[in-house]
Amino acid sequence: MKSASHVVSRWLSFGAGRKAGVAALSLVAVAGLGGVGVSAARGTMAAGMNGAMAAGAVRGAEPGNIVEVAGGAGSFKTLLAAATAADLVGALSGPGPLTVFAPSDEAFAKLGKHAIADLLKPENKEKLRTVLLYHVVPGKVSAQQAFGLTGADTASGQRLEISRKDGQLKVDKSSVVATDIAASNGVIHVIDRVLIPSDRTVVQTAVDANFKTLVAAVKAAGLAEALSGAGPFTVLAPTDEAFAKLGKETLGQLLLPENKEQLATILKLHVIPGRVFADAAAKGDSARTLAGEAVTFALKDGRLTVAGADVVKTDIDASNGVVHVIDTVLLPKEVRLKSAPASGASMPVAMSETSPAMLVEVAISRGVPVFNRGEYEGCAAIYEVATRGLLGMNSVSQATKARLRTALGEADAIKDQAEKAWALRRGLDAAAAMMGGAN
């Protein structure tokens, strides 16, 4: 994902704030940094906003910009202090138009003093910017328009979920408690909770969602670091069941050292540069993937599909992209997998005859040199892919599968990658012995 500065420069206009706005901010910043309590001297939030607008009417002038209106209300001291700390005052004072979902001081207080103090630390400036930009939607969106939306793209790059409950407008888990507060450069809607964007990358999001085979394959292909980078990426994430549908033959082939590049190509077919949300995908467009091939989205009987696979869950936000869950692994048109290390022959995907014992042998023969190079995480990923492949084979006994599940459980609890690899290796060794194989 582009830096917060880049996003702001794209969507928001920087510039010197009006003198009145800057003066107001200098006062509220001091008050906000000193604590999160709401001053007893001020009126209610609604009264404060009405007072600010009434003062503008008396002056016979247009309302001030977003910063000035918020400052005049007296209910957004913490928000404005945070905007000052994040260097977003100029952006929020620019021409816009912008829509700001503004947490009141009471909303910030729900985070707790320690959480707010942590966000305001200089070393957390980029995190603070991302949080604040998640409250800003480029363009002017009235409450009436928002009622007709299911989501809105924010200046942070991530998307807000918009819904309605008992006639009240909801933004993520926050309720909108005041709407359509006019400013010269946009509109403010007041919310009762601070919105927190995802701080997990697409890889971490996949781990959190238990896409274990996908994550193991990404690590085995050496793509984890790239997909943890800036992005943004759209990831079409196959479930573990989707990988199981490939069959033991393909899983066995993908583990061969000679097929690491082919495995990477298959995985890249599931990654689209940029963020493609479900509503855009539903228009039926094609998108080019990191593999160089394009995939086509379509609506089929009301269901979103991509390259023939059903999209079973959409728009899972990540800090560097968005994840859609699919029920089938996508395979490139031209990828051919080598059948064995010695033969040099190639064959199309899913045409080999890998047995469970051979899968164990291939996994260990590939994992050992990786481990010996000190690449413990890569070795663990290879063993995990093989273990999950064995669990999907009908010819593997239930007793053997139980031993493999035990190994997976032990590995999941281990943080040290070398020890994780050994836990999985012991499971594979035991499986080989139970199947009467040798390693």
User: Would residue 424 count as lying in a domain?
Assistant: yes
Model pTM? 0.68
Query: What's the pLDDT at 384?
Result: 86
Top-ranked range on mean pLDDT: pick from 33-42, 317-326, 334-343: 317-326
| Same domain (yes/no): 211, 324 | yes
| Same domain (yes/no): 19, 125 | yes
Side-chain-side CA neighbours of 205 within 13 Å: the count stands at 24
In 3D space, the residue among 266, 272, 283 whose CA is nearest the CA of residue 329 turns out to be 266
**Does the structure show a pLDDT above 70 at 138?**
yes
Query: What's the pLDDT at 370?
Result: 83
SS3 labels along the chain: CCCHHHHHHHHCCCCCCCHHHHHHHHHHHHHHHHCCCCCCCCCCHHHHHHHHHHHHHHHCCCCCCHHHHHHHHCCCHHHHHHHHHCCCHHHHHCCCCEEEEEECHHHHHCCCHHHHHHHCCHHHHHHHHHHHHCCEEECCCCHHHHCCCCEEECCCCCEEEEEEECCEEEECCEEEEEEEEEECCEEEEEECCCCCCCCCCHHHHHHHCCCHHHHHHHHHCCCHHHHCCCCCEEEEEECHHHHHCCHHHHHHHHCCHHHHHHHHHHHHCCEEECCCCHHHHCCCCEEECCCCCEEEEEEECCEEEECCEEEEEEEEEECCEEEEEECCCCCCCCCEEECCCCCCCEEECCCCCCCHHHHHHHHHHHHHHHHHCCCHHHHHHHHHHHHHHHHCCCCCCHHHHHHHHHHHHHHHCCCCHHHHHHHHHHHHHHHHHHCCCCC
| Same domain (yes/no): 53, 130 | yes
User: Would residue 266 count as lying in a domain?
Assistant: yes
Query: What's the pLDDT at 311?
Result: 93
**Does the structure show a pLDDT above 60 at 360?**
yes
User: Would residue 350 count as lying in a domain?
Assistant: no
Tokens of 175: 């309720």
How far is it, in rounded angstroms, from Cα 186 to Cα 99? 6
| Same domain (yes/no): 161, 64 | yes
Q: Is 424 within 8 Å of 360 (Cβ atoms)?
A: no
In 3D space, the residue among 146, 131, 138, 175 whose CA is nearest the CA of residue 4 turns out to be 131
**Does the structure show a pLDDT above 80 at 334?**
no
User: Would residue 323 count as lying in a domain?
Assistant: yes
| Same domain (yes/no): 147, 44 | yes
pLDDT bin (cut points 50, 70, 90) of residue 61 is low
User: Would residue 58 count as lying in a domain?
Assistant: yes
pLDDT bin (cut points 50, 70, 90) of residue 280 is confident
- 9 residue type, one letter: S
Domain with residue 252: its CATH number is 2.30.180.10
| Same domain (yes/no): 280, 335 | yes
In 3D space, the residue among 253, 213, 247, 256 whose CA is nearest the CA of residue 392 turns out to be 247
Q: Which residue is it, tokens 């001020």?
A: 42
What is the sign, positive or negative, of the torsion defined by CA atoms of 329, 334, 335, 341?
Answer: positive
Listed range (200-204, 213-217, 349-353, 401-405) with the worst mean pLDDT: 349-353
| Same domain (yes/no): 143, 216 | no
Q: Which structural domain, as residue segments, surrounds residue 272?
A: 198-345
Query: What's the pLDDT at 100?
Result: 94
- 138 residue type, one letter: P
How far is it, in rounded angstroms, from Cα 142 to Cα 188? 9
User: Would residue 221 count as lying in a domain?
Assistant: yes
SS3 labels along 156-217: CCCEEEEEEECCEEEECCEEEEEEEEEECCEEEEEECCCCCCCCCCHHHHHHHCCCHHHHHH
| Same domain (yes/no): 210, 337 | yes
In 3D space, the residue among 341, 334, 340, 372 whose CA is nearest the CA of residue 354 turns out to be 340
Of the residues 191, 226, 242, the one at which a domain ends: 191
| Same domain (yes/no): 206, 290 | yes
| Same domain (yes/no): 271, 327 | yes
| Same domain (yes/no): 178, 86 | yes
Of the residues 295, 324, 345, the one at which a domain ends: 345
Listed range (45-59, 128-142, 152-166) with the worst mean pLDDT: 45-59
User: Would residue 321 count as lying in a domain?
Assistant: yes
Higher-pLDDT residue of 128 and 381 is 128
Of the residues 191, 207, 238, the one at which a domain ends: 191
| Same domain (yes/no): 185, 206 | no
Average pLDDT, the chain: 78
**pLDDT tens digits for 86-136?**
889 988 988 879 999 999 999 999 988 888 888 888 888 989 999 999 999
User: Would residue 146 count as lying in a domain?
Assistant: yes
In 3D space, the residue among 42, 122, 141, 36 whose CA is nearest the CA of residue 84 turns out to be 122
Count of domains observed in the chain: 3
